[in-house]
Amino acid sequence: MRLRVSARAARERIDGFVDDGKETRLKLAVNAPPVGGKANAAVIVFLAKAWSVPKSRLSITVGANARRKTVLVAGDAAVLGPRLESWAAGIRG
């Protein structure tokens, strides 16, 4: 999943999806500051809860030091794919 993360937000939330014409990213805001990996850890915790997956299955593979990140969800694609697609459809409305 590709993300656009805002750190130091007043409250943690998902702000839908943003499309820059090249790709679509999930907009996510977390309370933690972007220092010492705190925001990245908050992203993992937030998404694990939202997606009902263990934190150990999530990892930031691209953009650890940037707002634009890519998160890998480890597991069976046949099970996770439809579940995450259904979740994303709910966000898009």
Residue position matching structure tokens 């997956």:
53
> Which string of b and e fits 9-37 if b means at least 16 CB within 10 Å?
beebeeeeeeeeeeeebbebbbebebeee
CATH architecture of 2-92: 2-Layer Sandwich (3.30)
pLDDT of residue 92: 78
pLDDT of residue 14: 95
Query: Along the 93 residues of the chain, how does pLDDT read in single tens digits?
Result: 999 999 999 999 999 999 989 999 999 999 999 999 999 999 999 999 999 999 999 999 999 999 999 999 999 999 999 999 999 999 876
Structure tokens at 26: 């999930």
pLDDT of residue 20: 85
Say how far residue 37 (Cα) sits from the centre of its chain: 15
For the chain, which residues make up each domain, given as ranges? 2-92
pLDDT of residue 93: 64
pLDDT of residue 91: 86
